[in-house]
Amino acid sequence: MILPLVPFLLLSFAAILHAKSSTGDSVLVVLEPSLDQNFSVFFDGLRARGYDLTFRAPKALTPAIIKDDVPSFSHVILFAPETKSFAQDISPQSLVQLLSLRTNLLIALSQKQTPLSSLAAEFSLVLPPPGTPVISHFPERDTPASIFPVDVSASNPILSSTKAPVWYSGISHSLGNNPLLVPILRAPVESFATDSSDDSGAPSIADAAEKGGEGLWAGGNMGLVTGFQATNGARITWVGGVSVFSDEFANKEVIKGKPSGNAAFSQDVAAWTFQETLVLRIDETTHHKVNETTPLSQYTTNDVVTYTAHISGWDSGKATWLPYSGLKDIQLEFTMLDPHVRTALPPVKGSPGTYSTTFRVPDRHGVFKFVIDYKRKGLTALQSSTTVPVVPPRHDGYPRFLSAAWPYYVGAISTSIGFILFSTIWLGGDVREMKKGKTSKTE
Amino acid sequence: MMLLGALILLAPLVHASVLTLQSPRFTITSTNASQARAEPISLVKKASPPLSLGPTDTLKITFQVIEKDSGNGVQPHQTFLRFFDEVSQEEGIQPLRVNSAGKAKFELNMAKPPLSLPPTSKDPLKVTLIIGSHLHSPLKVELFDLHVPASHPPPQHPDEASFHPLPVIQHTFRPDQKLPPTTISAAFSALVLAPWVVLLGLWAKISPRVPRLFSPSIVPFVATLTAFEVLLFWYWIELKLGQVLLYGAILAIPTVFAGKQALVSIGQQRLRQK
């Protein structure tokens, strides 16, 4: 009886141990039936990391991606690069609505004009005209010019586990200057987009460039895979060619005996898109006067105040939030309309996840805010604002004895002493004798 | 990059024929003819010193793409001139027109810079020639470094600055209040105390006698009066108004009785002395 249960138990343990996204593990895959590629390496990798995949054709009616304004899945993969008409519930508008409901999207494009390629323009991606794939003659190799390996930048934190070059085939896009864009994979320097497939097409390339404007999609500033992080934290990734995720490219060797980086790359891209990696949050912020521990409801001008923030990062391996001390350039602002103080908020040594700074409150009274507004490409935006009034000192909050006022203090105190002395002498003195003395003097 | 380098070496060489450039030259013509320069371009070494263009100068590059073995002119698929600023990472790609005999000519007139020239700063642009072909091995030649007049910086998104560390702001505090030297304060305090000398001197002359100083009817009243003065001093240092009124009210009760007793005893004594 127990034996058949064991594998099931192990499996459920494995599911707990495996990576999961910080926002949920249900994934809808909208897969074009006419795609002649298999993505089993990619999808099996997702399942092994704990995702629950549901498949659907672009024109199928169920399962709906959004129902009664509630998204049905945590993440949506749209591998339908050539589909021109989708079922009614998949439209550019509904995809934008999904994003605003914090659903993450992974969208593949192709050289065909589809509703998705017009949506890409709304995310500051400028796509080349239809039918112009990106090609590269470098390096010299035995594959067609439209299939080329791309070096992965080692400094990109999104692609931390991708070590080998990635095979790519598809389109490139130029990036607008929107800071919410997160370039994941840049085009090689030598690559360019063209619709000519042999050397006799050379003049048309020069012609295209001379037309001006966005005439030529060429060079290392073009993007191949580009992410976009909405201000609410939802992530959307645009991929110029669905074959990056294919089994064929995952198993294709770049150098003899060494597999390509596609398998690791596609998992890295999915991990970032599905908010597994580079996800942060502020757990708690506190403030108090230096050398005290309890927060005050208001501060006095010129108080020295300590501000502390506790920041956690999502650990997909343990599927939990862990204190994170890796942010080096976080800043704290003390703001009344404009920031009056902006100072670094460095991590505290020996106390993971704690960032703290001490500063002197400005000598301006009013309603101030402690503001953290930390935005960096690829990282979750961290925002926190705590309102605290700053008041001038109370009437008894000033120093009591100023050296400039010594004569006044001395005058007041000597008057008091004089009063007591006179009272004592008058009460304790002998009236008659004094009278006698006086009269004797006058005599 | 190392992996790709190894890849180039290891990949089976499908494109047998290799391309090269014949008689590559650059010429700088200047309106005031001061910086004019014309030199052949070396394929292995960058021109030294780096080229530099004034705002009205013109750079002209000419070369012929040929097959290395046969020497025939070739029109490759891709003939790009790449301008790259390594500091700002700005890049510009200029496709060159190559005729069927492989001859190419490019003119860069700084009075009318082409759209492909990236936004420039005072850092040099690295100029690279990229030649790619379906039939031949690709060729990439670093031609020279080029100094051009700085252009306007590229337009930035208004929110771009908030994605980088912002400049630190320190509040400028009002300067501390200036106090006069303490010696002056001390001197004026001494001046305030001076009447005591007169008072004590006169008292010493008349030497009033206080026979009833420690009389039990007088001492309590003097003590409560002193307590009132101490209370007011205490108020100055730390007490709040409510506390002072409370303590003062409590203190007033014994003071009234002690005062009455003291005045009555003085009155009785005076009656006795009459």
Q: Where are the domains of chain B?
A: 14-149, 211-274
Which residues partner with A218 through β-bridges? A192
A40-83 pLDDT tens trace: 999 999 999 889 999 999 999 888 898 888 999 999 999 999 99
Same domain as A384, residue A332: yes
The pLDDT of residue A2 is: 41
The pLDDT of residue A214 is: 55
User: Exposure of A179 by Cβ count < 10 A (0-12 exposed, 13-18 middle, 19+ buried)?
Assistant: buried
Closest CA to B266 of B209, B225, B215: B215
Query: For residue B167, which residues of chain A lie inside 8 Å, CB to CB?
Result: 342
On whether any CB of chain B is under 8 Å from the CB of A406, the answer is yes
CB contact under 8 A, A136 and B3: no
CA dihedral sign of residues A53, A56, A57, A63: negative
Same domain as A211, residue A166: yes
Residue A70, SS3? Answer: strand
Q: Tell me which residue in A197, A331, A419 faces B165 most closely, judged by beta carbons.
A: A331
**A398 assigned to some structural domain:** no
Same domain as A376, residue A249: no
Query: For residue A149, which residues of chain B lie inside 8 Å, CB to CB?
Result: 4, 7
Shortest alpha-carbon distance between residue B82 and chain A (Å): 8
Shortest alpha-carbon distance between residue A336 and chain B (Å): 12
Q: What is the band of B30 on the pLDDT scale with cuts at 50, 70, 90? A: confident
If one compares B35 and A161, the residue with the highest pLDDT of the two is A161
Same domain as A346, residue A221: no
Same domain as A348, residue A224: no
On whether any CB of chain B is under 8 Å from the CB of A341, the answer is yes
Which of A273, A308, A339 is where one domain is finished? A273
Domain residue limits at A219: 16-273
Cα distance between residue A284 and residue A369, in whole Å = 15
On whether any CB of chain B is under 8 Å from the CB of A344, the answer is yes
CB contact under 8 A, B7 and A149: yes
pLDDT at B35 over 70: no
Q: Pick the most confident of A192-196, A217-221, B219-223.
A: B219-223
Three-state SS letters, chain B? CHHHHHHHHHCCCCCCCCEEEEEEEEEEECCCCCCCEEEECCCCCCCCCCEECCCCCEEEEEEEEEECCCCCECCCCEEEEEEEECCCCEEEEEECCECCCCEEEEEEECCCCCCCCCCCCCCCEEEEEEEECCCCCCEEEEEEEEECCCCCCCCCCCCHHHHCCCCCECCCCCCCCCCCCHHHHHHHHHHHHHHHHHHHHHHHHHCCCCCCCCCCCCHHHHHHHHHHHHHHHHHHHCCCHHHHHHHHHHHHHHHHHHHHHHHHHHHHHHHHHC
The pLDDT of residue B155 is: 85
B14-149: CATH topology is Immunoglobulin-like (2.60.40)
Q: Tell me which residue in A219, A341, A404 faces B179 most closely, judged by beta carbons.
A: A404
Lowest mean pLDDT: which of A34-43, A150-159, B108-117? B108-117
**A2 assigned to some structural domain:** no
On whether any CB of chain B is under 8 Å from the CB of A4, the answer is no
CB contact under 8 A, A140 and B14: yes
Q: What is the band of A19 on the pLDDT scale with cuts at 50, 70, 90? A: low
Residue A400, SS3? Answer: coil
Q: Calculate what percentage of chain A has a pLDDT beyond 70.
A: 92
pLDDT at B3 over 70: no
Query: For residue B91, which residues of chain A lie inside 8 Å, CB to CB?
Result: 189, 219-221
**A5 assigned to some structural domain:** no
CA distances from A203 to A208, A393, A399, B228 (A): 9, 78, 84, 106
pLDDT at B13 over 50: no
Give the other-Cβ count within 10 Å of B89's Cβ: 10
Alpha helices in A138-230 (DSSP H): 202-210
Same domain as A286, residue A267: no
Query: For residue A260, which residues of chain B lie inside 8 Å, CB to CB?
Result: none
**A265 φ, ψ (degrees, to nearest 5):** -60, -45
For A114, residues 6+ apart whose C-beta sits below 8 A from its C-beta are A81, A82, A83, A84
The pLDDT of residue B128 is: 93
Which residues partner with A27 through β-bridges? A53, A75
Same domain as A288, residue A258: no
pLDDT at B12 over 90: no
Would you tell me the crossing angle of helices B241-273 and A431-442 to the nearest 10 degrees? 70
User: What is the mean pLDDT of the segment spanning A103-118?
Assistant: 93
Q: What is the band of B33 on the pLDDT scale with cuts at 50, 70, 90? A: low
Check: CB of residue A64 under 8 Å from CB of residue A16: no
Q: What is the CATH number of the domain that holds A262?
A: 3.40.50.880
Query: For residue A343, which residues of chain B lie inside 8 Å, CB to CB?
Result: 168-170
CB contact under 8 A, A205 and B15: no
Which residues partner with A52 through β-bridges? A26
Check: CB of residue A113 under 8 Å from CB of residue A82: no
Nearest residue on chain B to A176, alpha-carbon basis:
B157
Query: Please, what's the largest Cα pairwise distance for chain A?
Result: 143
Same domain as A160, residue A53: yes
Interfacial A residues in 116-155 facing B (CB < 8 Å): 136-142, 145, 149, 151
Q: Calculate what percentage of chain A has a pLDDT beyond 90.
A: 68
- Say which DSSP state A347 is in: B
If one compares A414 and B120, the residue with the highest pLDDT of the two is A414
**A9 assigned to some structural domain:** no
Closest CA to B106 of B139, B143, B133: B143
Give the other-Cβ count within 10 Å of A188's Cβ: 23
**A1 assigned to some structural domain:** no
Give the other-Cβ count within 10 Å of B43's Cβ: 14
Q: What is the CATH number of the domain that holds A292?
A: 2.60.40.1930
User: Exposure of B204 by Cβ count < 10 A (0-12 exposed, 13-18 middle, 19+ buried)?
Assistant: exposed
> Tokens for A389?
């009034």
> Tokens for B73?
């002119």
CA dihedral B47, B49, B50, B53 (to 10 degrees): -120
Long-range CB contacts for residues A54-59, cutoff 8 Å, separation at least 24: A54/A26, A54/A27, A54/A28, A54/A29, A55/A29, A55/A31, A56/A28, A56/A29, A56/A30, A56/A31, A57/A30, A57/A31, A57/A32, A57/A33, A58/A30, A58/A32, A58/A83, A58/A86, A58/A87, A58/A90, A59/A83, A59/A85, A59/A86, A59/A87
Mean pLDDT score of chain A, rounded to an integer?
88
Cα distance between residue A286 and residue A370, in whole Å = 10
Q: How far is CA A204 from the centre of its chain?
A: 42
Q: Look at the block and give the residue holding tokens 């670093």.
A: B142
**A252 assigned to some structural domain:** yes
Query: For residue A128, which residues of chain B lie inside 8 Å, CB to CB?
Result: none
User: What is the mean pLDDT of the segment spanning A259-285?
Assistant: 94
Nearest residue on chain B to A395, alpha-carbon basis:
B240
User: Exposure of A142 by Cβ count < 10 A (0-12 exposed, 13-18 middle, 19+ buried)?
Assistant: exposed
CB contact under 8 A, A429 and B93: no
B84-101 pLDDT tens trace: 998 888 899 988 989 888
Q: Tell me which residue in B8, B95, B225 faces A420 most closely, judged by beta carbons.
A: B225
- Say which DSSP state A177 is in: S
> Tokens for A107?
């969208």
The pLDDT of residue A437 is: 45
A296-348 pLDDT tens trace: 999 999 999 999 999 999 998 888 999 999 999 999 999 999 999 999 999 99
Same domain as A117, residue A20: yes
Same domain as A193, residue A264: yes
**A88 assigned to some structural domain:** yes
Q: Which of B4, B224, B274 to mutate to test the interface with A (most CBs of A within 10 A)?
A: B4
pLDDT at B191 over 80: yes
User: What is the mean pLDDT of the segment spanning A13-39?
Assistant: 78
Q: What angle do CA A38, A181, A102 make, to 5 degrees?
A: 70
CA distances from A140 to A431, B11, B74 (A): 126, 7, 18
B132-180 pLDDT tens trace: 988 888 999 999 899 888 888 888 899 999 999 999 999 999 998 888 9
Tally of domains in chain A: 3
pLDDT at B1 over 70: no
**A2 φ, ψ (degrees, to nearest 5):** -75, -35
Check: CB of residue A311 under 8 Å from CB of residue A353: yes
Element (H, E) at A184: strand A181-186
ipTM exceeding 0.85? no
Element (H, E) at A12: helix A5-17
Same domain as A224, residue A303: no
Same domain as A261, residue A121: yes
Q: Which of B2, B3, B234 to mutate to test the interface with A (most CBs of A within 10 A)?
A: B3
User: What is the mean pLDDT of the segment spanning B204-231?
Assistant: 89
